[in-house]
Amino acid sequence: MDIEVVRDGEEHLGNWAGNWPKGWIFFRLHRDGIFSAKIAGPPHGDTIQVNGSYDIVAGNNTAYYPRLIAVGDKKDTLFNYFIAYITPYDTKVEKVDKLVLSPTGIYDTVSYTFYCVKP
């Protein structure tokens, strides 16, 4: 029935979405390591469906965040970002679950924020 149960402690998996001025991305991290995404945007506003696999790789030491690495079916690297922040499951301060990915490391101020999309 394609129903996925997300258990306590596995909240980083699931459906995530983000946008920018010219488009948006929606991606799903399945617990079995499958990555699927829909991307809309330049040059013509077309929607692209991408499938592949992902892994979360621990940093070399505690000074670095773990990395989210997603590889497409055609062996293209889709994501290779540090997981800078995931909203804790029982946080009362924030009204939404966030996943923040950083392209270069923990001291970089550039980051991409995605929001959890409830199925």
For residue range 2-34, list pLDDT tens digits in order. Answer: 666 666 656 567 889 998 877 889 999 988 899
Looking at the predicted structure, is the pLDDT value of residue 58 above 90? no
Segments of 1-119 assigned E as strands: 14-20, 23-29, 34-41, 46-57, 67-72, 77-86, 98-102, 112-116
Take residue 115 and report the two structure tokens written for it.
């929001």
Question: What burial class does residue 38 get, using C-beta atoms within 10 Å of its C-beta: 0-12 exposed, 13-18 middle, 19+ buried?
Answer: middle
Take residue 102 and report the two structure tokens written for it.
């950083």
Percent of the chain with pLDDT over 70: 71
Q: What's the whole-model pTM score?
A: 0.75
Q: Give the number of other Cβ atoms within 10 Å of residue 81's Cβ.
A: 18
Provide the Cα torsion 87, 98, 110, 52; round to 10°: 110
Provide the Cα torsion 87, 119, 21, 33; round to 10°: 70
Q: What is the CA radius of gyration of the chain?
A: 15
Distance, C-alpha 7 to centroid of its chain:
18
